[in-house]
A and B are shown apart, each in its own frame.
Chain A
Amino acid sequence: MSKTYNLTTPLTKEDTQKLKAGDIVLLNGTIYTARDAAHKKLVDLIEAGEELPFDLIGSIIYFVGPTPPKPGEPIGSAGPTTSYRMDSYSPTMLKNGSLGMIGKGKRNQAVKDACKEYSGIYFGATGGAGALLGKKITSAEVIAYPELGPEAVRKLTVKDFPVTVINDTFGNDLYQIGRAKYEVKD
């Protein structure tokens, strides 16, 4: 049976190791946004041994490119983008201390293996629920690569941000488990 947890960032390995695929988590604290273009830059910095624009240890990276905020609001609509485009970068991020990713859609085996090896979690947020998810973000600040527009790296403060555990630290994959359960074979 799936459980519901409240977790506050930065995450610890105790936090991530208790989660199982299918659990629902409400996230609180700080998370960082990055899509393909920003990931490329971050991984280049890691490989060059240079300092990153934020502390990777225990961090959660949200794959999102929000709509522009209306005047007076921190952010516009902000649902997840499809994650496979980050597959080639995520293992490096996990290896260097990041413990969570939020996106939508399946990951490749290398990412799942990295989740197991480095105690990372791949969370799914509800794609297309951008208005709802945007409301769970209480502040947003561009901290790197403003030239990337919607793809710039942002520091977000979230309150009860709802996500589901897709890939846990044991190698489970909710997409496979869930689908197998409801698949009808003739």
Chain B
Amino acid sequence: MPDRRHPTYLAFLAHRLSGLALALFLPLHFWALGQALQGEAALEGFLRWTDHGLFKLAEWGLVVLLALHLAGGLRVMALEFLGWRARQKDMAALGAGFALAVGLLFLLNVG
């Protein structure tokens, strides 16, 4: 196994895996929201069905992944379009911090 341990490589892996998870989630999300086509009751029924702790955990995970992917995407584009090369490692760390902060806010508000 070649040695790839450095912050921006981990940032790439996190970005790719979060993007993969989000892409798989997207059709499910659209299907769930599409319940509204059958009226408010159908959507409400679905939302109550997802009130279980396991769903809340998955939701929290997705929110964190979304924040992580957003921050990671901004890092990549700052390099690509603005040529920000100097502080890439700090940006990778900031991105992780941002995702955690969003996750924490979500946890504080859920309830």
Q: Tell me, yes or no, whether A binds B.
A: no
